[in-house]
Amino acid sequence: MKPYVMGIDIGGTNTVFGIVDARGNVIASSSIKTAKHANFDDYLNELYTEAHRLIEINDAEGKIQGIGIGAPNANYYTGIIDNAVNLPWPSPLPLAELVSKKFGIPVAVTNDANAAALGEMTYGAARGLKDFIMITLGTGVGSGIVINGQVVYGHDGLAGELGHVIVKRNNGRLCGCGRTGCLEAYCSATGVARSAREFLESRTEPSLLRNIPIEDITSKDVYDAAMKGDKIAQDIFTYTGTLLGEAMADMTVFSSPEAFILFGGLAKSGDLLLKPIREAMDKNMLSMFKGKPKVILSELKEADAAVLGASALGWEAK
């Protein structure tokens, strides 16, 4: 019998899950909408139904040895999600216990960005790296910190929330966490959309973005406009990348990473984001670290990195 594990990545918008074999091949994957379920039981029922459909189609019944889950604010030590600002469910939520009971399979959980870091370290751009910081640029900004080959969990399992480093001390934007000025409020996909609204309201020149109702603008709209040469859209990316690069220069002094690995929808923006990131890092880097940390884009397919990382936990859960 071929053993498999299931990796589940719970994002603020979508939940992606997949069946993974011992070599790290994603045999099959699927997804459901996270955001539409205000009730966790309803969410779990849909997840169970869709996961079982995948298991049956791929002749994997009775072969899933463990389930690994990456989710915002999921605690590796306790299996609990607590205060996850981008998820609709009340907390604390005993995620590992509830999923294990539903599926009848051992479950291990970790922060979604830690899961992505594990996936990248095992199968992707961080293979062979012992010290790196994974930054996930999605609905929020997550991070997974790896030092000497180990994911950093801290004494309580909650370490590595670099998306909530404050980058604007005065008059910063309100973040979903309740504080103001967090990196996440500026450099996530939602942060880019917020920047678009601010730029359009404070500037007068024409922009392709003015053809879209201001509340409906997404980071993808900003990217599409920037690629067509739209000056406001390009400036939004410069603003975003500069803030992120400044924060990454600060992060460098903490753990001296060999590389930063960027993952998630915004990371696909290429040089629009990478150029201002690298310039801001260089300008703000402490001299002893200048030119050292590389900035690398994830090598894994969008869905696969987090699913593979979560699946690595699935083997531990057995």
Question: What per-residue confidence (pLDDT) applies to 208?
Answer: 97
CATH (one of 3.40.50.720, 3.30.420.40, 3.30.160.70, 3.40.980.10) for 4-119+302-317 = 3.30.420.40
Question: What per-residue confidence (pLDDT) applies to 265?
Answer: 86
> Which secondary-structure segment (H or E) carries 96?
helix 95-103
What are the phi and psi torsion angles at 10 (to 5°)?
A: -95, 110
In this prediction, the residues of the chain whose per-residue pLDDT falls under 70 are 1, 302-303, 318
- The answer for residues whose C-beta is within 8 angstroms of residue 278's C-beta and 6 or more apart is 245, 295
d(C-alpha 11, C-alpha 137), whole Å: 11
What are the phi and psi torsion angles at 189 (to 5°)?
A: -60, -40
Length of the chain: 318
Sheet holding 4-10, edge to edge: 26-33, 14-21, 4-10, 64-71, 107-111
Residues of the chain with CATH 3.30.420.40: 4-119+302-317, 128-297
Question: What per-residue confidence (pLDDT) applies to 302?
Answer: 66
Domain 128-297 of CATH type 3.30.420.40: yes
d(C-alpha 144, C-alpha 74), whole Å: 12
| Maximum alpha-carbon separation in the chain | 65
d(C-alpha 123, C-alpha 132), whole Å: 14
d(C-alpha 188, C-alpha 194), whole Å: 10
